[in-house]
A and B are shown apart, each in its own frame.
Chain A
Amino acid sequence: MPDLAILAAPAAAVLAPVRALGRFSIFAGQVLRRALRPPWYPELVLEHCWTTSTRCMVPVIAVCAPFGMVLSVQGLSIFSMFGAQRLLSSLVSVAVLRELAPILASVLVAAQGGSSCAAELGAMRIKEELDATEVMAVDSIQYHVVPRVLALTLATPLLNVVGATAGILGGFFTAVVVKGEPAGVFINEMWTLTGPADVWGGVVKTTVFGAIIGLVSSYHGYYARGGAAGVGQAVNETVVRSTLAFIVINYFLTSAFFGSVGGP
């Protein structure tokens, strides 16, 4: 019988993420089960939704609008090589509606809403407020976690629509006001490649991303440990992991919607 003790450290390194994933799945299952059964707290959901949306509104607009403007600058520098400036607005609307607004809005919601959700829950955990909730015979997941997850799920698609509007307006501003392209052409060509289906596609995507952000952030906050530094750590991991999760999922969703195999 060989000595297997030397394998202990690598095995632990491999098993740690598997364990974390398992714990996360159990947590997600608990949240889902409690979301489906009363008591519900609709006023808490609305309150968290309101705080999240108002806190994320300015960052989402402040990031999406410059991205639309950059898109116009770069798009014009390419299209003017072919004399095809009229294609600019369809490029802007495709890029903003299908990818940029959903991804940027979700990244900003993860950075602002998700991380403040993790920070709040983490601080409650460190100060033993979550334990106090349990002592009062109130289910802490049902009262503290479920409304936050639902609020993020609701707020992300709304912010996506806001971000898309800001991005297209930013693109319009640069193309028409700064670069002097004709406004009528911009507006007329905007819907040649896109339609209402793209708007709804973005809304569906961001609903999924919002649920992921809610679950990941409340998982890290709910199980925060180790004082103030632990809360900082939880916030850090929330932003990174939820971004990672929805960028990977985004590829598969995009492939499912548009990625048909075949030649041009």
Chain B
Amino acid sequence: MTASWLPSPLRSFLHQVGSYAWFVVDFARATARYGPPPGQVMEEAWRIGIKSLPILLVISAFVGTNIALQGYNAFRPLGGGRLVGMFVSLAGVRELAPIIAAAMVAAKAGTEMASQIGVMRIREQIDALEVMAVNPYAFLVAPRLFGITLVLPALTLISIFMMLASGYLVSVHQLGLNGSVFLEFATQGIAAVDFLYGMLKAVYFGLVICTVSCFFGFTCARGPEGVGEATNRAVVVSAVVCVCSNYFISEILYGRLP
């Protein structure tokens, strides 16, 4: 039964959400039953990590420099140029590093998942897998999912480190602040539990990126435009879902603090 009284963009949106939910349910059932093929998980983790690492390093370094510059400029009129260390560590560790790592993995590994699986779909290789009695969800999606949830927390920690290091370099060498004051304020701003929260966020973002990208790959339309469209949607939708749910996660984790 179709709800024809709804406007059609909304209907197709709801249709997409519904088929995504079914995709996740099917996938979870298949994975619980068959499990990922042995040896594939570490290989996917390695591939996702290595592919995203160089770009993540560069982007995190430049984001760190920018937080330091902007924090310095925002606090200096209030006489708080020394607070830059705290600002860099808070903004970097709590919010920016998990989001930047997730965005880069979505742009690099997520788009690759969508286009690989999309190409397999339009070349009917997925149908061929089913003919061979291999479950495509367990065979294609499960290793990627376990791989990304293993590697994204690690990438987040690396991104935190790069942000703090580049923020330190800019504050000390470009803005002429005292290095030990920077470090003192930086360690005051954060606690060890913040790293844990960052990694929790990263695991969640990994689940979102992988399922969304593979979903768009599986539902890819025919032809080269279909693959382009699926890849495009994979990165946009996973970025939007990650950022939107990040608000609620932050609200739960940090909103209750005094």
Question: A residues engaging B (CB < 8 A)?
Answer: 59, 62-63, 66-67, 69-70, 73-74, 77-78, 80-81, 87, 90-91, 94-95, 98-99, 107-108, 111-112, 115-116, 118-120, 122-123, 126-127, 193, 227-236, 239-240, 243-244, 247-248, 250-251, 254-255, 258-259, 261-264
Contacts and interface: CB of A to CB of B under 8 A. Distances in A.
B258 A80 contact: yes
Given A255-B174, A264-B82, A229 B95 contact: no
A232 B228 contact: yes
B244 A66 contact: yes
Contacts of B115: 229, 231-233, 235-236
Interface string B240-257: 100110110011001101
Contact of B246 (A70, A231, A234): A70
B224 interface: yes
A81 B258 contact: yes
Question: What 8 pairs across the A-B complex have the smallest Cβ distances?
Answer: A232-B115, A119-B228, A264-B81, A66-B247, A236-B111, A228-B224, A235-B231, A115-B232
A66 B228 contact: no
Given A77-B254, A123-B224, A228-B226, A251 B66 contact: yes
B55 A119 contact: no
Contact of B69 (A73, A107, A229, A254): A254
A247 B103 CA distance: 13
A66 to B, nearest CB: 4
Interface stretch (B19-27, B56-64, B137-145, B157-165): B56-64
A119 B221 CA distance: 13
Contacts of B240: 59, 62-63
Given A230-B224, A248-B58, 18 more contacts: A98-B70, A108-B239, A111-B107, A111-B239, A119-B231, A120-B225, A123-B223, A127-B224, A193-B74, A228-B119, A231-B115, A235-B232, A240-B104, A243-B59, A247-B59, A247-B62, A258-B70, A259-B174
Nearest to B119: A229
Nearest to A194: B74
A236 B235 CA distance: 9
Contact of A244 (B58, B116, B236, B257): B58
Contacts of B254: 73-74, 77
A233 B111 CA distance: 8
27 contacts: A59-B240, A63-B239, A66-B246, A70-B95, A91-B74, A99-B70, A111-B239, A115-B232, A119-B224, A119-B232, A122-B228, A228-B226, A232-B228, A235-B111, A239-B235, A240-B107, A243-B55, A243-B104, A244-B58, A247-B59, A250-B62, A251-B69, A258-B70, A261-B175, A261-B176, A263-B177, A264-B76
A248 B224 contact: no
B187 interface: no
Contacts of A261: 174-176
A235 B226 CA distance: 12
A219 to B, nearest CB: 15
A138 to B, nearest CB: 21
A182 B228 CA distance: 47
Given A59-B239, A74-B254, A116 B228 contact: yes
Contacts of A236: 107-108, 111-112, 115, 231
B110 to A, nearest CB: 9
B185 to A, nearest CB: 12
A123 B228 contact: yes
A263 B81 contact: yes
B108 A240 contact: yes
Contact of A112 (B81, B189, B236): B236
Interface in B141-188: 174-177
A264 B76 CA distance: 6
A216 to B, nearest CB: 13
A80 B231 CA distance: 43
Contact of B107 (A59, A193, A243, A263): A243
B114 interface: yes
A235 B82 CA distance: 43
Contacts of B247: 66, 69-70, 73
Interface string B60-87: 0011011001101110111111100010
Contact of B255 (A77, A230, A255): A77
A89 B86 CA distance: 19
